[in-house]
Each structure stands twice: as structure tokens, then as C-alpha cells.
């Protein structure tokens, strides 16, 4: 599903008006009418109910004026709380504001702190609010009396429908600009926006519905959005197809380089996740001293002991053995639990530079590569790195806080510069492509903050690549299924306390459900529910 930035949406609107010929006033009318329809469908009969409509001066405010008119005709008692002087309202918004005069709809101008204070009691008696203060163009901190209004609305804890995006959320980053409305529902127009789907914006959006306002498909194609939401139908199309006469050899052979003393569990989780994802064969390469314990823990996995350092971690002298064993494999996953000793680091760096196989680089593999990032540009094979924010900080030299506030930007810039796929893990995991496209994953929950979850994802990605899935499709399927399995566990076991091993056992069941679930039939065509 396409997601747009504020700039892309502005261009789409402009082309629809100037090239296709739909007037802006018509788009505004469509937006306000269908948002009202959604409001009534969700909150029920509002006849006689006082409805507070918070309006700014731009097109978002104009949508609010249209909503006020439709609510009035439906028997509700709307009051406009206007946060700037009427004379500053221009264009299509001014036209729709003028239509409210003959209807005698109450308009309260809240242009000062004193006016806000004097109106708080009236606000407290509203049945619900429509938030049409700021749209997707907001790019500066909200301050003064407007910030006070937003904080007061949140404090009242009344139901809120936000128009297009909760006021105060940056459309492109999801960051809070001073203060932001906490909506129960957001009615957005034509496309979901990035800020709806990434945190903290996602926590303010509530139920998100995308409303069709008549944007022509060819306009969308011309603008070419670069952000996408992972959906179940897309994931279903990405899963490898297996013929009735398949055998383990035709299902691919994966090689994993993982494990060190004290971290053998990472190797086990990665190996088992790859098998549960459908890999036909898995060979685990590990330090010689860890070999016996790993053989007893992963009975379906072949193992090969490699030379090690005196401390028991993988040695750079194991390189030739790794390359020899790679000859008949389809993919190489490297990093879980291997440590960052100097000799291990040199081994990882040389493997990244010379591997003939597609690479899945995770955990300490990423930490080892961080010392020599230019190797990623030298390597001729497709690669994916799967860092959590701390590992991303080591890769980039940026702070974790900066990364978390600029997740899409950081992921995209790294993927493009080093021509790799990059999976930036966390709430709403991102998949960045070398060409700059971004996929946002909607599955997963806070219960995944538990040891070993990243090792499971590594195994899932590598297992799907091993079966022949293109790397971009393997990433979409693995990331979505990883979070979906956790969501199922959260529902049945509880919001926390399930572990990585539990998630591995869910993988085949989630694949089964997606493969067997019939396609959803179209519902009401005026909107599409996202969450």
C-alpha cells in the first residue's frame, strides 16, 4: 500500500487540480463530506449533540468548515473553535467558511490565551471534537495559545476525529512538534501519510481510515511515492511457492556462521528459525569449542567446527574453510553471537568482501563491519544488514536518540550510500532499499523486547532467500511474519513474557494462515481501514 510524504501529497493535489481539472473546492467538499460520513459511522447518531470543531486557516481548516456544515444538516450542534482571525482565512477555506454564516453556526475565535481560558468550560461540554487545526504541511513547533488548546483537548479525554493527520504530528517523521492531538480516529485523504505509521505519530493516530476523494490513479503513478506499508496480500505474493515434488535439496541449503562461548543460543535460534521458515538444509559453522554443545541443541541442522582463538571465538584462519563450505549453498547468514574479537572481526570483514553468496549480516556481524564499512561497497553480492538502533548507531556514528527521531532518513541514506538492503528494527520496523524505497511494517508489539528476537528474524530472512525468494521479497515476508507471530503470541499468551523460541514455533502456522486465508472482499468503497 502506497504511503506519501507531505511534499508528494502536495504535488498530487496540485496535479489533480491543474492537470486533471478537479477544482480544489471539489476536493475539499469530497474530503469534508466523506469525513463526516466516517464520523457518523463510527460515533453513531449525533443529532442534538454539541460537536467542537477545532479549525486552522489552511485547507485542513477548510475541511473542518465543510464537516461543520454536514454535521449541522445531520442535526448535530457544531461549534467552530477558530484559532486565527477570520480575515486571515483565504481561498477555498474562506469560501466554505462563508457558507456557515446563513446556518448561524456558532464560531468562537480563540486568538489569544485569554480567549482560550474563557472558552475552556464550553469546550468541556462538547460531546466530541473534530481536529482540523493543522494538516500535513506543519513543519514548525506549536507554541502559545494553540499549544494550550491541544493540551486542554487531550486533558478532557473526549473522543476526537483528526482530519488528515493529528494536529502537531510531523507528516514525514511522526515526531511531535511541541504538542499533538491524541486522536481516537484519523480520516486521511487519498493516501496514508508516513507520520501516521511511525512512532510517536502512530500512537496519536488511533484508528486510521484512508478516504477516497477522487485522486486519479495516473496522477499517483506520475508522482511515484517511495514509501509503502506492508500488507498481508503483498506478503502472500512474496512467499516462495513449493511444488508437490519438492525435496530438501530443491528447497535450498543455507550456511550460518554464528556462535561463541556464552552466545551459542543465538546460533541455535537462527538455525531453527531458518528451518521453520522452510529452508531445506541448514549448515551451522561455529567455533570448534562450541561444536559439541551446538550439535546436541540443533539436531536437524548440520554443523561444521571452525578454527578458533584461544578465547574460543572464531578465528580469521577459518576463512578458507568457510569459502570451501559455501560452494553448494544459496545464502550465508553471519553474525549472531560471534563476538567482536580482533581475529573474528577480520574473518567477518573478509567474508563480507569475498563471499560468493547473498549475505544476511546481523548482530556482531554488523558490529564487525562497522569498523570497515567501505567493504560493503566492494562486495559484489546482494546484502542485507539488520541492525537495532544501537547497532545502527555504531554503523553510522550517530546517536541512538537521533536515529530514533529520524529512522526513515537514516535508514534510507545508509542503504543508498552503501547499496545494501537495511532492516532497521524496532517499533514499526523499516526495510530500506538501495534505490531509496522504504517499506514500513505494521506488525509486532512491545512484547518483542526480549532476547533472541533478532536472531529469529535473521534466520527467517536467510531461510526465505535460501528457498529462492528475491531478497526484497524475502525481507517483506520475514519482517511481516516475524511481527505477526509475535502479535498472535501476545493475544494468546499475554502482552509480555513470550520468548524467541515460542515465536519460532509460530512461523509455520502464520505462513499457513496467510497462504490459506481468502482474499478480503471489497467493503465500503468510500474508505479503507488501515488500523
- Are 257 and 216 in a shared domain? no
236 inside domain:
yes
- Are 374 and 455 in a shared domain? yes
- Are 300 and 174 in a shared domain? no
- Are 86 and 189 in a shared domain? yes
Q: Name the residue among 61, 69, 103 with its Cα closest to residue 86.
A: 61
60 inside domain:
yes
Arithmetic mean of pLDDT, 349-371: 97
Arithmetic mean of pLDDT, 483-502: 97
Report residue 528's pLDDT band, with 50, 70 and 90 as the boundaries: low
The enclosing domain of 454 has a CATH number of 3.40.1190.20
Arithmetic mean of pLDDT, 201-210: 96
**DSSP state letters, 330-390:** SEEEE-TT----HHHHHHHHHHHHH-SS-EEE-THHHHHHGGGTTHHHH--S-EEE---HH
Structural domain span for residue 443: 232-241+248-380+439-516
The 10s digit of each residue's pLDDT in 141-188 is 999 999 999 999 999 999 999 999 999 999 999 999 999 999 999 999
396 inside domain:
no
Sheet of 438-440, strand order: 192-193, 2-4, 227-229, 438-440, 430-432, 421-424, 383-385, 359-361, 331-334, 253-257, 281-287, 302-306
- Are 305 and 448 in a shared domain? yes
- Are 272 and 123 in a shared domain? no
pLDDT at position 67 is 98
What percent of the chain is modeled with pLDDT above 70?
98
- Are 27 and 148 in a shared domain? yes
Report residue 518's pLDDT band, with 50, 70 and 90 as the boundaries: confident
The enclosing domain of 207 has a CATH number of 3.40.50.10260
Quick check: 250 pLDDT over 70?
yes
The 10s digit of each residue's pLDDT in 272-294 is 999 999 999 999 999 999 999 99
pLDDT at position 522 is 44
Count Cα neighbours of 428 within 13 Å in the Cβ-side half-sphere: 23
Count Cα neighbours of 505 within 13 Å in the Cβ-side half-sphere: 5
412 inside domain:
no
pLDDT at position 57 is 85
Arithmetic mean of pLDDT, 419-444: 98
Report residue 78's pLDDT band, with 50, 70 and 90 as the boundaries: very high
Average pLDDT, the chain: 95
366 inside domain:
yes
- Are 137 and 152 in a shared domain? yes
Task: Write down which residue in 175, 194, 225 finishes a domain.
Answer: 225
- Are 262 and 214 in a shared domain? no
pLDDT at position 462 is 98
Number of domains comprising the chain: 2
pTM listed for this prediction: 0.94
- Are 23 and 66 in a shared domain? yes
pLDDT at position 525 is 40
389 inside domain:
no
Amino acid at each position: 500500500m502506497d504511503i506519501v510524504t507531505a511534499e508528494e501529497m502536495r504535488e498530487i493535489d496540485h496535479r489533480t487540480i491543474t492537470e486533471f481539472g478537479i477544482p480544489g473546492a471539489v476536493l475539499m467538499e469530497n474530503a469534508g463530506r466523506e469525513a463526516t460520513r466516517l464520523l457518523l459511522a463510527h460515533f453513531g447518531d449525533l443529532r442534538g449533540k454539541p460537536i467542537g470543531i477545532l479549525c486552522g486557516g489552511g485547507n485542513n481548516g477548510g475541511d473542518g468548515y465543510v464537516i461543520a456544515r454536514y454535521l449541522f444538516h445531520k442535526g448535530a450542534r457544531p461549534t467552530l473553535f477558530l484559532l486565527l482571525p477570520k480575515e486571515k482565512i483565504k481561498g477555498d477555506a474562506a469560501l466554505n467558511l462563508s457558507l456557515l454564516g446563513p446556518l448561524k453556526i456558532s464560531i468562537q475565535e480563540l486568538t489569544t490565551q485569554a480567549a482560550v481560558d474563557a472558552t475552556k468550560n464550553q469546550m468541556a461540554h462538547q460531546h466530541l471534537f473534530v481536529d482540523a487545526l493543522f494538516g500535513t504541511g506543519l513543519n514548525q513547533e506549536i507554541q502559545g495559545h494553540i499549544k494550550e488548546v491541544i493540551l486542554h483537548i487531550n486533558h478532557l479525554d473526549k473522543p476526537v476525529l483528526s482530519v488528515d493527520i493529528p494536529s502537531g504530528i510531523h507528516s514525514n517523521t511522526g515526531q511531535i512538534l511541541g504538542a499533538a492531538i491524541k486522536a481516537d480516529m484519523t480520516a486521511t485523504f487519498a493516501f496514508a501519510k508516513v507520520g501516521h505509521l511511525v512512532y510517536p505519530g502512530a500512537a496519536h493516530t488511533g484508528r486510521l481510515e484512508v478516504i477516497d476523494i477522487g485522486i486519479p490513479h495516473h496522477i499517483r503513478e506520475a508522482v511515484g511515492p517511495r514509501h509503502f506499508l506492508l500488507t498481508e496480500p503483498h506478503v502472500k505474493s512474496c512467499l516462495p511457492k513449493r511444488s508437490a515434488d519438492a525435496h530438501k535439496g530443491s528447497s535450498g541449503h543455507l550456511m550460518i556462521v554464528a556462535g561463541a562461548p556464552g552466545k551459542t543460543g543465538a546460533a541455535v535460534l537462527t538455525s531453527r528459525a531458518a528451518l521453520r521458515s522452510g529452508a531445506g538444509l541448514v549448515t551451522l559453522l561455529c567455533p570448534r569449542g562450541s561444536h559439541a554443545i551446538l550439535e546436541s541443541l540443533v539436531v536437524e541442522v548440520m554443523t561444521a567446527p571452525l578454527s578458533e582463538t584461544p578465547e574460543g571465538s572464531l578465528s580469521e584462519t577459518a576463512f578458507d574453510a568457510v569459502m570451501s563450505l559455501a560452494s553448494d549453498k544459496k545464502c550465508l547468514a553471519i553474525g549472531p553471537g560471534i563476538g567482536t574479537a580482533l581475529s573474528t572481526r577480520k574473518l567477518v570483514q573478509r567474508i563480507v568482501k569475498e563471499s560468493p553468496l547473498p549475505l544476511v549480516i546481523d548482530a556482531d556481524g554488523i558490529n564487525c563491519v562497522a569498523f570497515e564499512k567501505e567493504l560493503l561497497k566492494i562486495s559484489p553480492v546482494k546484502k542485507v544488514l539488520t541492525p537495532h538502533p544501537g547497532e545502527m548507531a555504531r554503523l553510522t556514528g550517530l546517536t541512538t536518540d537521533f536515529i530514533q527521531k529520524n529512522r526513515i532518513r537514516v535508514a534510507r541514506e545508509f542503504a543508498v550510500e552503501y547499496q545494501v538492503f537495511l532492516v532497521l528494527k524496532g517499533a514499526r520496523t523499516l526495510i530500506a532499499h538501495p534505490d531509496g524505497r522504504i517499506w514500513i511494517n505494521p506488525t509486532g508489539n512491545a512484547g518483542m523486547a526480549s532476547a533472541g528476537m533478532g536472531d529469529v528474524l535473521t534466520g527467517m530472512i536467510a531461510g526465505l532467500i535460501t528457498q529462492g525468494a528475491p531478497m526484497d521479497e524475502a525481507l517483506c515476508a520475514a519482517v511481516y511474519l516475524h511481527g505477526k507471530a509475535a502479535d498472535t503470541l501476545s493475544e494468546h499468551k499475554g502482552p509480555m513474557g513470550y520468548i524467541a523460541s515460542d515465536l519460532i514455533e509460530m512461523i509455520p502456522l502464520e505462513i499457513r494462515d496467510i497462504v490459506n486465508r481468502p482474499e478480503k472482499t471489497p467493503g465500503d468503497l468510500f474508505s479503507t481501514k488501515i488500523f
